[in-house]
Structure 1
Amino acid sequence: MTRIFSPPLSRATSRDRRGRSRSARRRLALEILERRALLAGDPTAYLVNLASAVGAGSGVVGDLAYVVGRANADADPDGSVIRFDPAVFSSPQTITLTATLALTGTVGPIAIEGPGTDLLTISGDDAVQVFRVDTGVTASMSGLTIAHGHDASGGGIHNAGNLSIAQVILSENQVFSADGSYTGTGGAIDNRGILTIVDAAFLENGATGRQQGFGGGLGSGGAVYNAGTLSMTGGRFENNHAYGEGGEFGGGGGFGGAIFNSGMLTIADVALDANSARGAGSFVGQGRGDGGAIYNSGTLTLFRSSITGCVAANGDGGGIYSSGVLSLFDVLIAGGGAADGGGVSNSGTATIQGGTISHNQISGATINRYNELSDCSGGGIDNRGSMTIVNVTITGNTAAAPWGETKGRGGGISNSGTLLLDFATIADNTADEGGGLWTSAGPAVTMCGVSLLRNPDGGNVAVGGGGAFRSLGRNLFSDAPGVALDPTDLIDTDPLLGPLADNGGPTWTMALLAGSPAVDAGIAVDGVTADQRGVARPWGAAPDVGAFEADRWPTAFDVPAGTTIVYGTASTAVSGRITAGALVPPGDVAVTLDGVTQAAAIDPTSGAFTSVFATSGLHTSSSPYSVAYHYAGAVGFLAADAAGVLTVAPAPLTVVADDQVAAFGADPPALTARYFGFVNGDDPASLARPATLTTTAVAYSTPGRYPILASGAASPDYAITFVDGALTVAQPTSPHLRRRVAVVTSLYRRALGRSAEPAGLRFWLGRLDAGSRAEDVARRIWSSPEHHAQIRRHAGLGIGRPAMSGGRVDAWQGASRIGR
């Protein structure tokens, strides 16, 4: 685990087969990262090829219990290794036990190498303990699932030897206190020896203390009970529980929903989620539920781990309860709940260095063993011992008591012991008294470089009567607390703090925004050389106040998402603005358009910048063009990038057809056009398709105006508009000829039943001369192959009735001469 992020603080729940609430998350399957060498030398190998375990005395070769018995008796000093036949265990198999598999061989180490957590489950069938490792035994297990073990001490494994487990899932194992005993210990594992765990998952295990006569029972370590030495790296604990049962005259307690530690425990890169501890009561007294995730009365050290959504239902320490020695490094504790200490409850000696305590809560008065109401304390942390906090963010925690005669004290921290705070950020917590920090009479609080702000209900700091509060200076308060302060403390000051977010480092932080008065307002403290994220302190002239050292301000661009120019625009100014909160970063912005990068100087007052690009060569067909903005950063300012687009719109172009005049009987002149709007030196040859000019007029068209139509021209760089022209066919110069044309045209149209002149008419009209007879014209038209059929169909429409001979006109009856 390299980064730990704030988890969701609520989740849907379902019930397991025992009716317990559990998170609606997918069951975890561990990935086998590598096959670890657990044995050296040349151990004796044993092969399990049966999915059964009928007992060491069965004589069934290949049976798991038989093979374990052989390994125990092996005299090889290099030890023995138990493997599983891949032909049998290529698909998921469950070996169900009727008796505990005891590892007793002390001559050499014993290794059990399973095929994988998804292929092999060894089950106690909710009746027997799965494994027991005796004193003097060195053993290892990997690649298997241990499930449904049942005992009073270690449902899955009881270890008194030296045991290593890797890539193992332990699920739904249970312990219940035995007859005559008040305590059930270690739902999955009870460790009294030396235990090393790598990449293991503990899922839905439980420890329950049964009622014993008049007294209640104790459940300790829902997943793990450690009274020896335990080291764990990687893996997770999810939905484990430790419950106590009440007796007739006494309550029962649940301690350590996931882990109970009275020995030496070191944990790194582990996630603990949705674990719980709960006590039960009687009419005489109430049992406690302490340590929703971990109960520590020994020595506990956590590195880079997360504890989320864990609850001590009616006790202390939703995440951790510690009466021993506690050290937390880069740990997230979030979403927990308890009667006192929603995140952490400490009555021993504790150090919290780096990390985040967020969104934990205490929300009700405790019913103690005497059935009296008492105040609840410490939404995030309840300290009753000795505690040192360095580079920690404490935010969003709540201490609220619903009863009128009780109060919730210390939304962020409640202190009734000795508390030292260096470079902490305590913000946005709430309580009835001391929204940020509450300390009772007598105990001492010493703080330096701490930021307390926006803890609205109950104020940032509240001190009980006679409580000792000592400021070493350089603290920041968003109000004016009623305690003695150092002259260097800042009061009624807004530090310009950002929200809880991933600002780098192993846990989330609240960044100082640009212009924050907390910057360089602290003082150096011996041994503190970095902030919560690991950023070196000081970055500037002096350390910053709080858990966050503003090494560089985040910068942000304000640039247009899109800009549009017209094709042919000679140059374009690309502009924007860059700021870092209330500050303006120094230097230049690199602006890139169409592969060309230019430096734009930043105005030191406004943050504005402009870069002018030559854009005449940009074409619509390649549009839009990307515009990239890059700020490389500077001392105190982070780099930033932004993007936009430049769109090139077509330029307007008008094509105007020139007006023309034609003499009657002559072919129309060449049609021409003029162009208005060419840019960049373009001309008609630059168009993708040239303009087309057309007219319906011909040489012998009836005199008048005929449109010249302009069309066809196309180019992606131009939006083209067409303006039509006109061709004027002049009247014939002879009045005599003009009248003949009119008469023949009229006859022709009547004959064909058309309103327009067919192209063939111009030939016949061209042969008219003075004195031409209508019948001659009609005969010529009739004889034309082009129009013969039409004239034939429409004969007798006012141009006479022809006399036919061999399909040709012999005479044209009733025809008259064309006017004189």
Structure 2
Amino acid sequence: MIARPPRLPHRLLATALVAATCGAPTDGFAAQAATAPQLRSDPARRVFATFATGRARPSRPSVPATVLPVTNCADAGPGSLRAAAAAASDNDEIDLSQLTCSRITLTTGAIEIDADTLTLTGPGRYQLSLDGNHRDRVLIHPADGALTVKGLTIENGHDRATGFHVGAGGCIASAAFLYLDDTTVRNCYAGGEGSYGGAIYAYAVTLDNSTVSGNVAKGVHEDAGTAAFGGAIFTYVLDLTASTVSGNRAVHEVRDGRTSYDIGGGIVTIVGGNVRSSTIDSNYSEGRAGGIATFNPLFLSNSTISSNEAADGVGGGLFMRWPSTLRAVNSTIAANRASAGGAAWIEADGSALYSTIVHGNAADADEAANLQGRTPLTIVGSHDLVGASDPALVLPADTRSDDPLLGPLRSNGGPTRTHALAPGSPAVDAGSNDDGLAFDQRGFPRVYGAATDVGAFEQGAPAAAAAVPGLSVRFAVLLAGLLGGLAASRLRASSRHRAAAGRLPQDR
């Protein structure tokens, strides 16, 4: 079996954990934090801030203090985004929604935002792009509040640190709470002795109906070992809803005699967080955690973890570093690969699986293709389909190992891709709905037929109930939870009626 992973395999991991500490500071903490990587030499303006205590989410004003319009797509000058950002005060909104151009190309460096709390509003992510031109980051926000980006594409950012410095947030670097709504962040790069977030570095990251794709975090140094943390995102607090993190990479420049520590091809989150109705797929780490690495509890609901790879480490889909735990509800973890624990590597007791598929993952010979643990562990839950896993893991008593007959990862309706259930799948009507979810990952009814299906996809559910016009994705998901009981009751009644009348073939 694979050797136990080291607790602190690289000094840069220790640096990351220093900033993640949420308890009261100590003298040692302060001494280490003083040497943490910085965006600026001024300690008051660094993005790698000293987080001595846990931080409450700042309020975002429902009405902005001032709306600053952007009237042209120039890099700088009157009416430009750069000029509006320089003039903005706390709680302002910068409005780009009236622009008729499709791209703002930055030729003189990143846009630096000094306001603690600011909103950038575009016409839609398919209408307008902020392009870093592969010269610098796109947005820098060394502040304490909240940065919100709506209706934009952020792309082609580049941060290459030299010497013993680190790269961070190739497109967006913020010390604050970052909110992305209807936004795409793509084709960004961060490199250095350590790299933290190929696309995004922020204290907290919230994605709603957004995509982070095609980004690279790369460890590069001529004369030292390197590390890459989060090909797409490095954050302390994670919150994803109806979003996709796809095709990102945490890699290193190969140097003879030099070591590397690459983790989280998609995401590294220190404090953990939530992934709801989202897909994490096709991400790659040259070390461990192809999809997500977390150091504290992660909640996975109505979501898909698929086709991620940890090329030379554990946890193809998920790496649950001690003391983190996983609670996966109505989710699908499939087609991931790692040296061991192809689906997930779990190091602490306390994880749970409810109505979840963990199947069709791969690992090296003599290692567990699906779930694997560092020590004997017990996982609680019910109504799961789990493929071959580490015998040291005690799974829920009713766990089945049947092949769920998953279709390929593709668009099956809704904002994210999913694995459909083929006809005759043992997952159909064999699950549970412990959290009272109204909808499946796509936004289709969560309970259809005799019972809930296992996994993120509900076979045969009609699309008509999915749309909630006029509501934000996040509010729709929350509303779905509140309406779950009523929706389930009506669907069960409908199911009983169909059973009494004789079910037609097209019903399934």
Partner of 1:271: 244
2:222 equivalent to 1:240:
no
- CA distance in structure 2 between the partners assigned to 1:392 and 1:47 by the alignment: 47
Partner of 1:168: 152
Q: Residue deviations 1:123-152, cap 9 Å, x none?
A: 333x621x2222534343424422126788
Q: Residue type matched to 1:164 in 2?
A: T
Q: 1:637 to 1:393 in 2, by over 3 A?
A: farther
2:94 equivalent to 1:111:
yes
Preserved contact between residue 419 and residue 457 of structure 2 (Cα < 8 Å): no
2:67 equivalent to 1:40:
no
Q: Residue type matched to 1:414 in 2?
A: Q
Gaps of 5+ in 1: 1-36, 55-61, 69-81, 83-100, 210-216, 363-375, 401-406, 428-435, 455-496, 553-631, 643-820
Preserved contact between residue 137 and residue 162 of structure 1 (Cα < 8 Å): yes
Q: 1:641 to 1:450 in 2, by over 3 A?
A: closer
Specify which structure has the higher proportion of strand: 1
Which runs of structure 2 are paired with 1:116-135 in the superposition (5 Å)? 116=99, 119-125=101-107, 128-129=109-110, 131-134=111-114
- CA distance in structure 2 between the partners assigned to 1:311 and 1:103 by the alignment: 40
SS of structure 2 residue aligned to 1:136 = coil
Which runs of structure 2 are paired with 1:764-775 in the superposition (5 Å)? none
Residue 253 (structure 1) shift: 1.4
Q: Residue type matched to 1:426 in 2?
A: V
Q: 1:438 aligns with which of 370, 381, 390?
A: 390
Bigger CA drift: 293-302 or 418-427?
418-427
2:312 equivalent to 1:330:
no
Residue 445 (structure 1) shift: 1.9
Residue 45 (structure 1) shift: 5.7
Residue 208 (structure 1) shift: 0.8
Q: 1:157 to 1:283 in 2, by over 3 A?
A: same
- CA distance in structure 2 between the partners assigned to 1:193 and 1:112 by the alignment: 21
- CA distance in structure 2 between the partners assigned to 1:547 and 1:135 by the alignment: 43
Residue 246 (structure 1) shift: 3.9
Q: Residue deviations 1:447-504, cap 9 Å, x none?
A: 13211136xxxxxxxxxxxxxxxxxxxxxxxxxxxxxxxxxxxxxxxxxx65548999
Preserved contact between residue 279 and residue 286 of structure 1 (Cα < 8 Å): no
Gaps of 5+ in 2: 1-59, 461-496
Q: 1:266 to 1:337 in 2, by over 3 A?
A: same
Partner of 1:388: 352
| Count of matched residue positions in the alignment of Structure 1 and Structure 2 | 393
2:260 equivalent to 1:287:
yes
Q: 1:218 to 1:519 in 2, by over 3 A?
A: closer
Q: 1:47 to 1:412 in 2, by over 3 A?
A: closer
Which runs of structure 2 are paired with 1:153-552 in the superposition (5 Å)? 154-160=137-143, 161-179=145-163, 181-209=164-192, 217-227=193-203, 229-248=204-223, 250-262=224-236, 264-312=237-285, 314-338=286-310, 339=312, 340-347=314-321, 348-362=324-338, 376-386=339-349, 387-400=351-364, 407-417=365-375, 418=377, 419-427=379-387, 436-440=388-392, 444-453=393-402, 498-500=405-407, 507-508=418-419, 510=421, 513=424, 527=434, 539=450
Q: 1:237 to 1:346 in 2, by over 3 A?
A: same
Q: Residue type matched to 2:188 in 1?
A: N
Residue 175 (structure 1) shift: 1.2
Q: Residue deviations 1:332-352, cap 9 Å, x none?
A: 111111132111111122221
Q: 1:532 to 1:285 in 2, by over 3 A?
A: farther
Q: Residue type matched to 1:290 in 2?
A: I
2:502 equivalent to 1:640:
no
- CA distance in structure 2 between the partners assigned to 1:320 and 1:44 by the alignment: 37
Residue 311 (structure 1) shift: 0.8
Preserved contact between residue 170 and residue 199 of structure 2 (Cα < 8 Å): yes
Q: Residue type matched to 1:451 in 2?
A: R
With normalisation by structure 1, the TM-score equals: 0.43
Partner of 1:13: none
- CA distance in structure 2 between the partners assigned to 1:243 and 1:352 by the alignment: 30
Q: Residue deviations 1:343-383, cap 9 Å, x none?
A: 11111222211211111122xxxxxxxxxxxxx21112222
Bigger CA drift: 527-536 or 182-191?
527-536
Partner of 1:747: none
- CA distance in structure 1 between the partners assigned to 2:174 and 2:348 by the alignment: 28
- CA distance in structure 2 between the partners assigned to 1:176 and 1:450 by the alignment: 47
SS of structure 2 residue aligned to 1:634 = helix
SS of structure 2 residue aligned to 1:307 = strand
Q: Residue deviations 1:149-179, cap 9 Å, x none?
A: 6788x54333524322111111110112255
SS of structure 1 residue aligned to 2:217 = strand
SS of structure 1 residue aligned to 2:226 = coil
Residue 191 (structure 1) shift: 2.0
- CA distance in structure 1 between the partners assigned to 2:423 and 2:305 by the alignment: 22
Preserved contact between residue 201 and residue 235 of structure 1 (Cα < 8 Å): yes
- CA distance in structure 1 between the partners assigned to 2:328 and 2:97 by the alignment: 39
Q: 1:102 to 1:536 in 2, by over 3 A?
A: same
- CA distance in structure 2 between the partners assigned to 1:278 and 1:344 by the alignment: 17
Q: Residue deviations 1:757-812, cap 9 Å, x none?
A: xxxxxxxxxxxxxxxxxxxxxxxxxxxxxxxxxxxxxxxxxxxxxxxxxxxxxxxx
- CA distance in structure 2 between the partners assigned to 1:110 and 1:282 by the alignment: 46
Q: 1:437 to 1:102 in 2, by over 3 A?
A: same
Residue 414 (structure 1) shift: 1.4
Q: Residue type matched to 1:361 in 2?
A: R
Q: 1:64 aligns with which of 80, 84, 87?
A: 80
Preserved contact between residue 150 and residue 156 of structure 1 (Cα < 8 Å): no
Residue 293 (structure 1) shift: 0.9
Residue 255 (structure 1) shift: 1.3
Q: Residue type matched to 1:123 in 2?
A: T
- CA distance in structure 2 between the partners assigned to 1:636 and 1:425 by the alignment: 31
Q: Residue type matched to 2:197 in 1?
A: G
| CA RMSD, 1 decimal | 4.1
Identity score, percent:
18
Structure with the larger RCO, 1 or 2 (CA within 8 Å, 6+ apart):
2
With normalisation by structure 2, the TM-score equals: 0.66
Q: Residue type matched to 2:369 in 1?
A: G
Preserved contact between residue 71 and residue 98 of structure 2 (Cα < 8 Å): no
Residue 200 (structure 1) shift: 0.5
- CA distance in structure 2 between the partners assigned to 1:122 and 1:184 by the alignment: 24
Preserved contact between residue 530 and residue 537 of structure 1 (Cα < 8 Å): no
Preserved contact between residue 224 and residue 258 of structure 1 (Cα < 8 Å): yes
Residue 186 (structure 1) shift: 0.5
Preserved contact between residue 64 and residue 93 of structure 2 (Cα < 8 Å): no
Q: 1:200 to 1:45 in 2, by over 3 A?
A: closer
- CA distance in structure 2 between the partners assigned to 1:123 and 1:291 by the alignment: 30
Q: 1:499 to 1:517 in 2, by over 3 A?
A: closer
- CA distance in structure 1 between the partners assigned to 2:270 and 2:180 by the alignment: 21
SS of structure 1 residue aligned to 2:302 = strand
Q: 1:357 to 1:637 in 2, by over 3 A?
A: farther
Residue 224 (structure 1) shift: 0.8
SS of structure 1 residue aligned to 2:319 = strand
Q: Residue type matched to 1:128 in 2?
A: G
Residue 292 (structure 1) shift: 1.0
Q: 1:641 to 1:64 in 2, by over 3 A?
A: closer
Q: 1:388 to 1:46 in 2, by over 3 A?
A: closer
- CA distance in structure 1 between the partners assigned to 2:385 and 2:295 by the alignment: 25
Q: 1:408 to 1:296 in 2, by over 3 A?
A: farther
